[in-house]
Amino acid sequence: MTSQVDAINRVDFKSVKLLDAYINIDIIEVTGNMHNTFPMLVGNAPYNDVNVRRALKYAVNRQEMVDKILLGHGAVGNDHPIGPANQYFASDLEQTEYDPDKAKFYLKEAGLSSLDVNLSVSDGAFAGAVDAGQLYQNSGAAAGVNINIVQEPADGYWSNVWLKKPWCACYWSGRATEDWMFSTAYESGVPWNDTGWENERFQSLLMQGRAELDTGLRGEIYREMQAICRDEGGTVVPMYQNYVDAKSNRVEHSGQTGNLWMLDNLRSCKRWWSA
């Protein structure tokens, strides 16, 4: 607008229509693998009970978050980290929907009539995380899940909250391959496994997937791994978030941009040029 910069990333969703109205500004939006998450440390009660984890997954209204937090610039998640830009994304996997009755059922399976938990959030985790937490609080109440929102400072969030507080907000950019994503954050014992979750069948499939050359069989392996994460894992993945960047019309590119990371896979300085 003022020609001070040529391009920006992470455009505020509330500003997209405003910026797009300017003739000298182009909005670049791509569907990638970025996803917003709420990881639980499964070594801590009550998250060590899979029934509690399932209750929390049925207690979130995913579409409401997509509509109100992302303003439609994304899609609902299904509690696994593989995104629509991945080769083996299991789009046919049954979607976990908001269902207060099912959440209550799983609380009962855990021996509980209700659940009181703290959720640490900050907009330092992802833009809109505080509001997302409040939406979760509202949807959870109907399921007997009483979520106390703990608003953490953005400064030091990744050092003091993530990997330390029992339940918190987080985001992942996703990875180019299924193995890369699973190995980074879901493999047993890796530093960024932000739930501490371990599953013997999942680990066995992870090793098989790395060695399997048949694409059909690899697809079956990664589909099962996504299902295991959805059903057993310690992370609530409510939504995938599109990459939304903006550039001046003084800057040109080939017409197609990468969708693995922001700003044309972080290669805009190499791929874009001055008009």
Per cent of the chain over pLDDT 70 is 96
Name, in order, each residue with C-beta under 8 angstroms of 61's C-beta and a sequence gap of 6 or more. 98, 135, 139
Please state the rounded mean pLDDT for residues 84-94: 97
Q: What is the per-residue pLDDT across 22-59, written as a single tens digit (0 to 9) for each? A: 878 788 888 999 999 999 999 999 999 999 999 999 99
Residue 192 pLDDT greater than 60, yes or no? yes
Res 263: pLDDT: 66
Residue ranges and CATH numbers for the domains of the chain are 7-30+244-274 (no CATH), 35-241 (3.10.105.10)
Read off the pLDDT band of 12 (50, 70, 90).
confident
Res 238: pLDDT: 99
Find the range with the poorest average confidence among 16-20, 62-66, 87-91, 124-128.
16-20
Res 249: pLDDT: 76
Residue 2 pLDDT greater than 70, yes or no? no
pTM, whole model, 2 decimals?
0.93
Q: Where are the alpha helices (DSSP H) in the chain?
A: 16-20, 50-58, 62-68, 100-109, 129-141, 157-160, 178-185, 200-211, 215-232, 262-266, 268-271
Res 159: pLDDT: 98
Instruction: Give dist(CA 235, CA 223) in Å, integer.
Output: 17
Res 264: pLDDT: 65
Please state the rounded mean pLDDT for residues 60-64: 99
Cis peptide leading into 46, omega within 30 of 0? Answer: yes
pLDDT greater at residue 125 or residue 252: 125
Buried-state track 30-44, b at ≥16 Cβ within 10 A, e below 16: bbbbbbbbbbbbbee
Per cent of the chain over pLDDT 90 is 77
Please state the rounded mean pLDDT for residues 143-151: 99
Q: What is the per-residue pLDDT across 204-244, written as a single tens digit (0 to 9) for each? A: 999 999 999 999 999 999 999 999 999 999 999 999 999 88
Res 266: pLDDT: 63
Surface-to-core class of residue 60, CB atoms within 10 Å of its CB (0-12 exposed, 13-18 middle, 19+ buried): buried
